[in-house]
Chain A
Amino acid sequence: MERRVVITGIGIYSCLGENLNEVLDSLKSGRSGIIYDEKRKDFGYRSCLTGFVKTPDLKPFLSRRERIGMHEPAMYAYASTMEAMKNAQLDIDFLEKTETGIIFGNDSTAGAVIETIDKVRERKDTTLIGSGDIFQNMNCTVNMNLSTIYKLKGINISLSAACASGSHSIGLGYLLIKQGLQERVVCGGAQETNLYAMASFDGLGAFSIRQDTPSKASRPFDKDRDGLVPSGGAATVIIESLESALKRNAPIYGEIIGYGFSSNGDHISNPNLDGQHRSLNMTLKSANINPSEIDYVNAHATSTPIGDATEAEAIFDVLGGKVPVSSTKGMTGHECWMAGASEIVYSLLMMENNFIAPNVNFENPDEHSAKINIIPEYKEHKIDCFLSNSFGFGGTNSSIIIKRFKK
């Protein structure tokens, strides 16, 4: 028998704020988290724009041994997971005695690897690297660190799917719980923000060069968009069987009812309309709802010319032109590996507080975005059901539908 899957804990550490309250304020006011980073200019970046995320001080919470294997992805993820665990009313004593898994999205550890290799180049002796670097260097760094700190006993895998990593982590956790294979899974996404993380991406010329006004640079769906702005942090979404959530009397933020996915099997970086159609149609079929039941779409739209145009067409084709749509990336920039999870958190905050966060900097539509209903300013709006899209390099697509929980 298939089980219902609900969200019982959320946490966020992003350029919009270091916790849910700060992020809620930013989402309502349309505050941008994007800055101009002078260091990038000296380093050779074409665009020096980035979402600004402080390195969290975890010394008050974790021992030296627990911190030593952490670089940015794991540090950010611990910060967001700490908040999610608290909201979910979960503690280590409970987790140690029950079956809780972790599937966290992450797709790079560039900063950690480069710092390690620099040490070897300088010291010419691998035994002088130290014991923590290997656990910072591996792509499953978030999983390794969080599963040992929280003593998790269920599934333990890292998920790498480019900019859809966070979304797929929730989708796969959902399938495992729905099928009765797991009781509870810590899902999410993490994205490093250091100087090294995005250099090769910048080299593709995909980033906005509207550097004189950082808060205006990320312009999803706007006619004059000129590229994305990289960003990062971490978001955690704890999902659970309804039965378990009710038994624990846990808070319920929403119910996951649909997960759709596809691979384009086409170009390595260009989006593909057919792939997005298939992902959207699969999630609708999986949720067993009509397009008219979707009250809000949180678009993937990153502010690139071709990406936003393709998604606008896909949304119009599958969901029509009436459903309200916004991309929070106008404020956050593109949170990449984390985005699919953070945007679920942003959308849950909107659903809980009855509003749509603005698609900032959407001033004029192009021929594609003119077909859909983009919300450029804060709007009070009751959301009972929303859809979140995430698409990534390599042609990986993910679409998740979440509805307000009703018994």
Chain B
Amino acid sequence: MSREEIIATTKRFLSEEFEIEESLIQPGNNLHKTLDLDSLDYVDLVVVIEENLGFKPTSDDFKSIQSFNDFYNLVEKKLA
């Protein structure tokens, strides 16, 4: 999956799951704040990532993610 495809795919399922405008998902924006995640939401984030991308991120993976760019990097690494 190319980076463009990763951005398009994740934008679609994240906006759908967390009910936010796709336009708010920008590479430099903070993922946690943009998706307004509380402790329970991380459980759902794992579920939608597994459903749509086929891997389960760990809690350590989330610690390394601040921006959506960080998230795209993680996805690229996991799918490589």
Contact = CB atoms under 8 A, between A and B. Distances in A.
A72 B38 CA distance: 24
A64 B19 contact: yes
A127 B38 CA distance: 17
B56 A131 contact: no
A65 interface: yes
Interface string B39-57: 0110110110011000010
Contacts of B51: 128
Contacts of A130: 43-44, 47
B40 A131 contact: yes
The secondary-structure label for the interface of chain A is: loop
B38 A65 contact: yes
B31 to A, nearest CB: 16
B41 A131 contact: yes
B62 interface: no
Contacts of A131: 40-41, 43-44
Contacts of B18: 64
A127 B19 contact: no
Contact of B46 (A63, A68, A128): A128
Q: Chain A interface residue count: which class?
A: 10 to 19
A68 B43 CA distance: 12
Interface residues of B, number: 13
Contacts of B50: 128
Residue of B38, B43, B46 with most partner-chain A CB within 10 A: B43
Nearest to A133: B43
Interface string A127-151: 1111110000000000000000000
A65 B46 contact: no
B59 to A, nearest CB: 11
A99 B79 CA distance: 53
Given A64-B18, A64-B19, A65-B38, A127 B44 contact: no
A130 B43 CA distance: 6
Contacts of A128: 46-47, 50-51, 56
A131 B17 CA distance: 12
A127 B57 CA distance: 11
Interface in A118-134: 127-132
A63 to B, nearest CB: 8
Contacts of B47: 128-130
Contacts of A68: 44
Given A127-B56, A128-B50, A65 B43 contact: no
Interface of B: 17-19, 38, 40-41, 43-44, 46-47, 50-51, 56
Q: Which 4 A-B pairs have the closest CB atoms?
A: A131-B43, A131-B40, A64-B19, A130-B47
Given A65-B38, A127-B56, A131-B40, 19 more contacts: A63-B19, A64-B17, A64-B18, A64-B19, A65-B40, A65-B41, A68-B44, A127-B43, A127-B46, A128-B47, A128-B56, A129-B47, A130-B43, A130-B44, A130-B47, A131-B41, A131-B43, A131-B44, A132-B44
